[in-house]
Structure formats: structure tokens, C-alpha cells
Structure 1
Amino acid sequence: MSGVGDVYCWPTNLGWVMGPILLFSCFLTGATLALYHGSPLGRGFGKFVQDAGVTVLGTVPSLVKTWKNTDCIKGLDWTKIKSFASTGETSNVDDDLWLSSKSYYKPIIECCGGTELASSYIQSSLFQPQAFGAFSTASMTTGLVILDEHGVPYPDDKACVGEVGLFPLYLGATDRLLNTDHNDVYFKGMPTFKGMRLRRHGDILKRTVGGYIVVQGRADDTMNLGGIKTSSVEIERVCDRADQSILETAAVSVAPPDGGPELLVIFVVLKKGFNQQPEKLKTIFSKTIQTNLNPLFKVSNVKIIPEFPRTASNKLLRRVLRDQIQHELSVRSRM
């Protein structure tokens, strides 16, 4: 993707796999690494990308969403960019289209992996036709299957949705952990395939009819609503577009303290300058979810908050939101 004469820029963190990959990529290819001091969320970063002549720009989907919704790069010239890259979260197709348009619809290379894998296990490739928000191939040395709810792999040519199982021989993957048992974390309880114990990664993948792969979120972000399994990402995709006041949403499900079906709760961050009532959003979300996903899904609660909790690499921490609402429900049940 890059080489001598290219300028590489990617807001990231050296404690996360993308930081070392970025450094070594530039050292190995002779590309220039553009370093920005400050937050990548505002116009200052956008102008830096322009002035530094960045040719390869890495992103995180939530960054792109912020740039798009705040219109902070309006009037800037990003046309030197030859390709974009995206990792850290599942991408939004509309946001990807907007980003690509900033440089004559250049491709966006999607990457999905983890620090414990030393890189991506699925990614996009410039040697193949691409689709926004999707992956076209497994990475080098990666073997994988998509498992059904019984842990049985689907055929490789079948359109399906399920948890990914990685082949255990994987270049760069960890073989030990400092503070816990490596086997318990990555292999215990996983099914075997062709005599191999599969490695756990925790992503839910969707393979399309055309063979593209779309990440549906984490296995621990899967929810059971009225006996039907769905993912947080699917719900968030339709809710993000439900009203012009919405910057982003996060969907979690929690079990009621006194038992019963899981409750769907939508957390919302509003765009700057907008006001909205939770009850009105609850009605809007219920309608759009029932129209676009399933008529049986019901929104139990909507909470508007100023910002979402995130990791240092900007990943959304749904677990924190889930724990928060679970605590609130527990307190109410004791009153």
C-alpha cells in the first residue's frame, strides 16, 4: 500500500497492534510517517492531512462518523490520498462512501484482527473488487471457518452468519499470556475441525452470497430479543439513520433482575446543537427497527448521554454501558 514517496498517517496507539504495524510499515517500505500532535477529531487534523500531503490515511469508523457529522473537513483538499484504511470497529457503508468521496472515490482497505494476532485475519485487497464496509479475503497464513449455533462449520461457499473459528497455526499469534491461561482464553470449549482445535477470536461474521465478509460485532454483543438472535451492530446501523439529531447510537441488551426476556436499550449521543426527548426517540427507534429488522423487536429504554466510553484505540465499550444499565435496573428492583 505504501512505499518511497508515500506519506502514511493513521491516528492510533502504540499500545495497540496498529501502532507498531504503522511504524514498521514505514521503516520497511521507505514511506514517510506523518505525526500529528493533538486530537484527530477536528479541523486541525484535517488540515494537517492536507498540508502534509498524506497519501495513505488510516481511520477508525467513529472518527469518520465525527468528521462527516461535524463537517469539519469542508473545503480541505484530501485528493493526494491514494487509499484509505479502516480498523478498530465495524464500518458504516454511508460513512465509507462519504470518506471515499473526499479523494475521487479512492478505495478503503478494511482490516480486522487483534493485538494477540499481530495483525488482521481478514482484510480487503487491492487485487480484488471491493465493497464498502466489507472484507474480500482472509489474510496471509489465515485459515478460518464460520460456525453455526452448534459449533459446526458452514461450507466455505455458503452465505451464513456465525462466530468465526480460526485455524490454530497462525503467523504472529500469541502462544502464551502473562496473567492467565492462554489455552483457557483462546482454545477451551472451541470445536475441532479436520483434527484441529479452532482458536477463539470472538467476532460474529456474515458471509454474503458474493463471498464478501461483513463483521456483525462481537459474540458477547449478540443479543436474544424475543427468541431471535441479532447483533448490536445491526440495530445501531438502522438507528444511526433514524433521525437527523443522532450522532451515533449504541445498542445493548440486559436481563431484567426478576427474570424474563432480554430488554433492548439504546444509548444515544446527539449532534451538537440538537435537543431530543428519550421517549420520542424510543418511538422513532422502535418503528425503524421493526420496519427494517424485525417487527417483534421492541425498544425498552433510550438513554441520551454526552459521549460513549471508549478504549485508548477508540473502540466503543458496550460492556460499560451494559453494566451501567444493569446496575440501574438492579437498584430500581430493590426500591
Structure 2
Amino acid sequence: GEPKVIPWTQLCPIRCAADTWAHLDLRPKDVDLWPTNLGWVMGPIQIFSCFLNGATLALYHGSPLGRGFCKFVQDARVSVLGSVPSLVKSWKAGNLTKGLDWTKIRVLATTGEASDIDDNLWLSSRTCYKPIVECCGGTELASSYIQGRLLQPQAFGAFSGPSMSTGFVILDEQGNPYPDDLPCSGEVGLFPLYFGATNRLLNADHDKVYFDGMPIYRGRQLRRHGDIIQRTVGGYYIVQGRADDTMNLGGIKTSSVEIERVCNGADEGLLETAAVSIKPSGGGPEQLAILAVLKDGSTTCDANLLKSKFQRAIQKNLNPLFKVRASLF
């Protein structure tokens, strides 16, 4: 649907700084770098986290997809490096860290998409096997509700549990919470007392978006976030996808409606399109596929040509980072 307009309060910067202090061990002498922008929640999180914790904020002018960025990590003596799984995959595919020294890094972090375990192993090996802290949250929370913890061993592609001062339950299909020690999978329900979380939206009904229809737990109505998560036998957590029509592409949350609106005008022979995200069997970032229905009487389309048209339309009108992996009709 329509993107939400989410106002922040004075509590949000405090929550940003608290999360990075507690989960990334961000210290005054650290040099912190995370490719992002102010249109994504990681932008303000980076700024407030560095300034309030006294760390140095590293700024790189250019694309994080090239070797120049990787060399900047070395030259700036970055000690805390954040990433998005799609970026790591690009660094690995291009062997962009060859000959570079990333051993000054003591903490790695990632968010925005599901991680590929092999890519995480490669990234960690660049830093003498430093831990990678997984983070998952949202702008409306000013933080992550689930993260890794440096106080325990980290499993690649998995989360340790709720972030500091946060609680959640995993719900079954009837909306009942599973026991906290039971391996399971279902929609997450956040405890409503959440420091830094929003209590209003500028273009939608806040209660309707986040609370209507959510079950009562211990006398309080749970907060909706929309993620499907799995609790493993070992007690770690894996985010499996979304319970709504949104998807994570290139680290950016978007809706199928936004993509379909752009793709519908990519070719005159199209009647309608449907955008779906596909989770690779081996894990890793979601992949975008566009299903197309042709108008009656339209000549047969070439799937690769149609894919190229979708790609150009999305890059021009939506986001240049979104990649169309398949086109079917």
C-alpha cells in the first residue's frame, strides 16, 4: 500500500544509540560505517548512534558496490561495519577485498534482507572471523526488535533474540502464542510497551495499522510488525518473510502494489502484472519476479525483452537497486 509517514520524537534518537551500544558494542573510539541514506531508517540510526555514543561516523562519497568503497574501509580504519546482504554478495562476486586489510574491524552487522550463510562466512573471514550481528526492525520502532548479542556465540543468518528492553511472542495460525521454549514458526507479536516506538502516523490510523486484530497477551494488546519468524531447536531465530504484501529488495522494504503500478506501464501489450518475491532455497536475499498478463490480441512477447522493460521502468520510477530476476507470462 501507500508508504507510511512516520514522525519521530525525542525518544527515537535515544533508542537508536541504546541499541548500537548494547548490541554492537559501539564505543567512543570506534569508526562506524554503514552504507545507507536518510530515506532508510539506518541513516538516522547511524547519525544518532555515533553522535550520542561518541563514535566517529565514516562517510564515503560514491557507490558501496565498488572496490573504492572496500579500500575506504581499510584506509578509514573502520572498526564497526554494517552492510546489506546484497552488498556482501557483490563484494564477494567481484573479489573486491582482495589484497585489503579489514582486520581493524571488530564487529560486523547486517540488516534489510535475509542473509546468505555462505556470504556471511566469506565476510567474516575477511576480518579474521569477527561476529556478524543480525538486526531486524523498522522506522516505526526506531530500532530493531530482534538482534544478535555479542554476549553469546553468533550463528550466521540467525538472531539471538529480542533486543534490549523488547519482548515478543510467536503466534500460531489462531493467534495463540507458542511457549517461549518451543521451536516453532509464525507471525511475531511485539509487546506494546516499546521504548522509542511511534504512537501516531501522519497519513494513516496508527491503531488500525499496528494494533487492530492483534491478540491480547498478559492483559495487553500485542503490536503488529508483520514478520514471520522461526525459533530453532538451538534457541536462535530466523526471519522467514512477511505476513503482508511487502517485500525486502536490496535492503529496502517495498510493497507489491508500488512495483505493479510501475510495471503496468512498461509495455502497451500488458493487461496487468503481479510482483512476487521468491526466497532462494539456500537462503539469502529475496528475488523479484514479475508475472504478466497480456492483452487480448497482443503478439507473443519475449520474456527477456519484457524483463528488460520491467527493469528499466523500476530503475527509472522506483529504485535503481531493485533487480528483476524473472519475468513470466
- TM-score scaled by length of structure 1: 0.71
CA shift, 1:170, in A, is 0.6
Q: 2:162 aligns with which of 123, 138, 145?
A: 138
Partner of 2:113: 89
Deviation at 1:237, TM superposition (A): 3.8
Alpha carbons 1:7, 1:34 under 8 Å: kept: yes
Once the two structures are superposed, residues 244-264 of structure 1 have per-residue CA deviations (whole angstroms, 9 ceiling, x without a partner) of xxxx7616597999xxxxxxx
Is 2:211 aligned against 1:180?
no
Match of 2:256 in 1: none
Task: String of CA shifts for 1:40-66, please: whole Å, max 9, x gaps.
Answer: 001010011111111110101111011
Q: Secondary structure at the match of 2:280?
A: helix
Q: Is the 8 A contact 2:159 2:236 kept in 1?
A: yes
**Residue type at the aligned position of 1:128:** Q
Relative to structure 2, which stretch is displaced further, 302-311 or 62-71?
Answer: 302-311
Alignment match, 1:16: 40
What CA distance in whole angstroms lies between the structure 2 residues aligned with 1:195 and 1:256? 48
Distance (whole Å) between structure 2 residues aligned to residue 30 and residue 219 of structure 1: 38
Cα deviation, residue 30, structure 1: 2.0
Q: State the structure with bigger RCO (CA 8 A, min sep 6), 1 or 2.
A: 2
TM-superposition CA deviations, 1:8-61 (whole Å, max 9, x none): 111111232211221122112222111100100010100111111111101011
Q: 1:185 to 1:115 in 2, by over 3 A?
A: same
Aligned to 2:10: none
Normalising by the residue count of structure 2, what TM-score does the alignment of the two structures yield? 0.72
Q: Distance in 2 between matches of 1:135 and 1:198?
A: 21
1:210 aligned onto 2:254:
no
CA-based RMSD:
3.4
Give the AA of the match of 1:16. Answer: W
Residue 260 of structure 2 is aligned to residue 236 of structure 1: no
For residues 209 and 239 of structure 1, do their structure 2 counterparts lie closer, same or farther at Cα, with a shift above 3 Å needed? closer
Aligned CA distance change for structure 1 residues 107 and 194 (closer, same or farther; 3 Å): same
- Structure 1 vs Structure 2: percent identity of aligned residues? 63
Aligned counterpart, 1:297: none
Q: Kindly state the Cα deviation for residue 218 of structure 1 after the two structures are TM-superposed.
A: 1.3
Amino acid at match of 2:241: G
Question: 1:32 maps to what in 2?
Answer: 56
Query: What is the alpha-carbon distance in structure 2 between the residues aligned to residue 251 and residue 312 of structure 1?
Result: 13
Shift of 1:163: 0.8
Q: CA deviation at 1:308?
A: 11
Q: CA deviation at 1:238?
A: 3.1
Say whether residues 1:190 and 2:214 are aligned partners: yes
| Moved >2 Å (runs of 4+) | 237-240, 251-257, 302-314
> CA 1:36–1:237 in structure 2 vs 1: closer, same or farther (change >3 Å)?
farther
- Alpha-carbon contact 2:114-2:283 (below 8 Å) kept: no
Following TM superposition, by how much is the alpha carbon of 1:77 offset from its aligned partner in structure 2, in angstroms?
Answer: 1.2
1:62 matched to 2:99: no
**1:162 and 2:186 are equivalent in the alignment:** yes
SS of 1:100 mapped into structure 2: helix
**Larger CA deviation: 11-20 vs 110-119:** 11-20
Q: Is the partner of 1:121 in helix, strand or coil?
A: strand
Equivalent-residue separation in structure 2 for 1:105 and 1:93 (angstroms): 13
Which residue number in structure 2 is paired with residue 117 of structure 1? 141
Matched residue count: 266
Equivalent in the alignment of 2:287: 250
Find the counterpart in structure 1 of residue 270 from structure 2: none
Change (3 A) 1:306 1:97: farther
Q: Which residue of 2 aligns with 1:262?
A: none
**Within 2, Cα distance between the matches of 1:202 and 1:25?**
26
Report how far residue 239 of structure 1 moved.
8.3
Structure 1 residue runs of 5 or longer lacking an equivalent are: 223-230, 241-247, 258-276, 280-301, 330-335
Deviations 1:279-298 (A, max 9, x none): 9xxxxxxxxxxxxxxxxxxx
Cα pair distance change 1:313/1:34, threshold 3 Å:
farther
- In 2, Cα distance between the equivalents of 1:256 and 1:3? 54
Counterpart CA distance in 2 for 1:164 and 1:145 is 6
CA contact (8 A) 1:136 1:211 kept: yes
